[in-house]
Amino acid sequence: MSSANGPAVLSVRDLHIQVRHERRTTTVVDRATFDIGRREVLALIGESGSGKTMTALSILRLVAPPVSIAGGEVWYQGQNLLRLGDDAMRALRGRQIAMIFQNPRDRFDPLQTIGDQLVEVLLHHRVAHSRREAADRALALLAEVQLVEAGRVMRLYPNEVSGGMLQRAMIALAIAPAPDVLIADEPTSALDVTIQSEILDLLKDLEEARSMSILFITHDISVARQVADTVAVMYAGQVVEYGAASEVFAVPRHPYTQALLASVPSTDADVLHPIPGQPPALANPPRGCRFAPRCPSASKHGRAEEPPPVVAVDGVSVRCWLYEAARA
């Protein structure tokens, strides 16, 4: 298992996630496959409801009924995490694979200072062996995530800081145990553009300084452009295009990726190009190609009702009938 940056740190293979509701079972992630290499940022891109967050939560086995992991593998350090015992998974979660979320206010205890919460994390993961050592490390972490006056921030409660400051503190919490992999679930979508750019720069700096790998989840393709080394584009629960960011953004192969890029506003564009229609209901997806009802190229191959193959086109994996010749 390898990525563009050498041997994979984390490999997801044919991940299959279902939701059970009364007598109906809905597939919300269908055979997702991708690798993340050392010091690599993989952006998982797609519209809301495409399965991005469910994929991330399943990697850490944070899903619960009615959601279930119905199949697939998640490999890390020679172990399939989906087969790992509960105690071993709890020990790994947070320490070796950590996660940050869209709204950090939901993740902080409002009754404890930011410093106290950092100290508790450091002690829990045995990164520090005394409260004094943990406090020193917490101060250094807040400085590392570029919070000015880190000593003052240590004494503040979550409601006393801005959203951008709290997101930096959340990043400090996540990197405190020095994880190999950081999962960032829409970490900038609630921030204004200036702060968003600063957080993206910070994550790239941390990736390089700590030799850390990042799974970056976003619905915003312009954000992915700023951070991604590799891109996996999801549509209706399936990865439809996967490859080096430079390739995918320069020459998108899948019609959905093409439509996503065309829909991004630009300063020199006179007309916006939204994607027509709506994503399908996952409880009743179209037969075969899930993008076919919205695809301007569906008529070119006439096989929209048959499941499209996954083919390699110039090193990029594409789930589409348009590239059937490349399969031969």
**Nearest CA-CA partner of 44 in 232, 256, 207, 275:** 232
Domains annotated for the chain, with CATH where assigned, are: 2-96+179-265+272-327 (3.40.50.300)
The 10s digit of each residue's pLDDT in 298-311 is: 877 767 678 899 99
From residue 245, alpha-carbon distances to 222, 236, 252, 279 in Å are: 12, 21, 10, 24
Local structure of 98: helix, strand or coil: strand
CB 233 within 8 A of CB 317: no
The 10s digit of each residue's pLDDT in 194-233 is: 899 999 999 999 999 999 999 999 999 989 999 999 999 9
b/e code 205-226 from CB counts within 10 Å (16+ = b):
ebbeeeebbbbbbbbbbebbbb
Looking at residues 66-77, what average pLDDT do you find?
Answer: 97
Residue 181 has pLDDT above 90, yes or no: yes
pTM as predicted = 0.93
State the Cα–Cα distance between residues 155 and 87, nearest whole angstrom: 33
Which tokens belong to 231? 């891109």
- What pLDDT, on a 0 to 100 scale, did the predictor assign at position 276? 85
From residue 64, alpha-carbon distances to 18, 34, 61, 97, 292 in Å are: 11, 23, 8, 19, 32
The 10s digit of each residue's pLDDT in 226-248 is: 999 999 999 999 999 999 999 99
CB 119 within 8 A of CB 138: yes
- What pLDDT, on a 0 to 100 scale, did the predictor assign at position 96? 96
